[in-house]
Structures are given as structure tokens and as C-alpha cells.
Chains A and B, each alone.
Chain A
């Protein structure tokens, strides 16, 4: 589909906006609707749009399968690691109160890190899904 100029230009204009919106949903989830799950899917949607127009091999040049595999595990490890960290700091597993100088600060930091982990894994898995399914054709 990359032979159609309108599609090509519109895709290149919209992809940065989609990525920016994903970041907004990710980091503004404490204050409005959204969070790691939604942000991860929207972030992956930008890559999927790129793949639909330019082919899956173009996506593979942007993010290599090895990095995707790494990110999939990294997000989950970040989430679980925050739990280990709170235990090392003297609290219960995933009890963020111990992370900051006061409980509220700790909760903020904990939720931020955990949502980041969710976003990373969800985005990587969604891109993997797309590449695995759509990549079998070309």
C-alpha cells in the first residue's frame, strides 16, 4: 500500500501524534482515564499502522524481534521488581508506601513504575502479535 501517496503522507503525519497520545495516556493515567494497558495498545497501534502501509519488514527494521522479546520480559520484570524492592525496603510485596520519603510519595512512584511496566509489556506483545500474524504473508 506504500504506492498510494495520500496514505503514505497521512501515515507519516499521524504516527508521531499517535505515539505522543500514547505517552499522554501512559503518564497522565493518574489524573484522567487511561494507564499502562491502554497506552501500550495505542503505542503498538502506531507500529501496526506503519506495518500496514509499509509492510511488516519495515517495522522489523524499526524494532528488531530481539528487542521486542527483551521488552516483553522487561516490563513484567519491572512490575515484579518493584514488589521485590518494596520487600527489601521493609514493606509487603507491592506495598509502595516504603518507596518514598512519605507514603503518598511512595504510592505515586510505585504506581508510575508499575504502569510503565504494564505499558512496555503490552506494547511489545501487541507488536509481536501483529508481526507474527501479518508477517506470515510477506
Chain B
């Protein structure tokens, strides 16, 4: 049953990605990206990574889509026709993709208990966190306590991104000369 769900979800992911490449209406492409994120969130749920799925659904489907739509409102919704044939990028992407797929042949099978990732610190977190941290959600325990430095770093990245947007765009309202796209949004 899980295999069937996986096949359907991954198949839909591929279809959505291809549709996003084929479409030239940027509004439709943005919606395709949103659908892609929603499908990815569903895949994470199947993988029992609910916290990651939650983040993907909130950030990938919600905020990113809104920000891209807001940007489309500024720059117009039609993709510019390409000035050259994208042959070289296609070759680079195919070679890189083939190398990545080749790399997966050396990886342990999915969810193998003897995989290195399952034997490093994960058993300690799972066995000791009820005594050391004492909260039921191990993900929160790892994120906020065991890996507090990493989370502080992540938050600093978000803070830096916010400061960067403030410095570059700011809050000031200005009538941009680019705001002549055909959409009527308020």
C-alpha cells in the first residue's frame, strides 16, 4: 500500500515538475511550484517526518507562493522568449543528474537499520532524550537542545535574510516604473 502511495506521489511530482518547465505563464508556473511543495509535504508525511512536512507545507506552499506571486505582480506574468537554445544547460543538468543517480547506488537501502546515519548519534538521542530532556517530541529535543547551536545559526540566517531585504527593498512605498503588468491586484 505504501509503495502504491509512493509511486503515485513521486509520479505526480515528476508530472508537476515537467509542467512547470513546459509552461510559459509565470503565474501558472508559480502555482505548479506550490503543488510541487504540497506533494513533497505529502511524501514527507509518508516518510513519517511530520515536522519537516509541516514546514514544507507552511513555507513551501504558503509563503514562497505568496512571495513569488507578489514578485510576478511587479515584473509581469509572461516569460521572455529565450535568446538562445538551452543545449549546454541541458547537457550539464543531465550529466549532473546521472552522476547523482550513480552516487545513490553506493547508498545503503532506504531505512536500513545498519546504515551509518542510524548508528551515529540517532540511537543516543532516541534512548536518552526522555531522561535528559524529558519532552515527548524528540525532533524538538534535538532541534532546540542537542543541536541548539545549529538552530541558532539557522535563526541567524533568517535574521540576515530579513535585514538584507530591508536594506535592499525597504518599507518605503515608491511608484515603480515597472509596475505596469496587466494584472489588477490590490
Contacts and interface: CB of A to CB of B under 8 A. Distances in A.
A35 B58 CA distance: 12
Contact of A42 (B58, B74, B185): B58
A137 B133 contact: no
A73 interface: yes
Contacts of B103: none
A132 B169 contact: yes
A138 B173 contact: yes
Contacts of B79: none
A35 B144 contact: yes
A32 B62 contact: no
A32 B74 CA distance: 39
Contacts of A132: 165-166, 169-171
Nearest to B162: A125
A79 B51 contact: no
Contact of A110 (B143, B144, B158, B163): B144
A3 to B, nearest CB: 9
B145 A133 contact: no
Interface string B51-93: 1011100110011001100110110000000000000000000
B144 A134 contact: no
A69 B166 contact: yes
B162 A72 contact: yes
A42 B135 CA distance: 23
Contacts of B163: 72
A64 B78 CA distance: 34
Given A111-B144, A136-B74, A129 B137 contact: no
Contact of A104 (B54, B134, B162): B134
Contacts, number: 152
B149 A94 contact: yes
Contacts of A73: 159
A124 B162 contact: yes
Contact of A45 (B63, B149, B158): B63
B145 A136 contact: no
A111 B155 contact: no
A136 B67 CA distance: 12
Nearest to A124: B162
Contacts of A125: 158-159, 161-162
B179 interface: yes
Interface of A: 1-2, 25, 29-35, 37-38, 41-42, 44-45, 48, 52, 55, 60, 65, 69, 72-73, 75-76, 79-80, 83, 93-94, 96, 103-104, 107-108, 110-111, 114-115, 117-118, 121-122, 124-126, 128-138
18 contacts: A1-B185, A33-B50, A33-B54, A38-B55, A45-B62, A75-B159, A76-B159, A79-B155, A94-B149, A111-B140, A111-B144, A121-B159, A128-B166, A129-B162, A130-B66, A132-B165, A137-B74, A138-B186
Given A115-B144, A138-B186, 7 more contacts: A29-B137, A31-B137, A33-B139, A37-B55, A96-B145, A111-B140, A115-B140
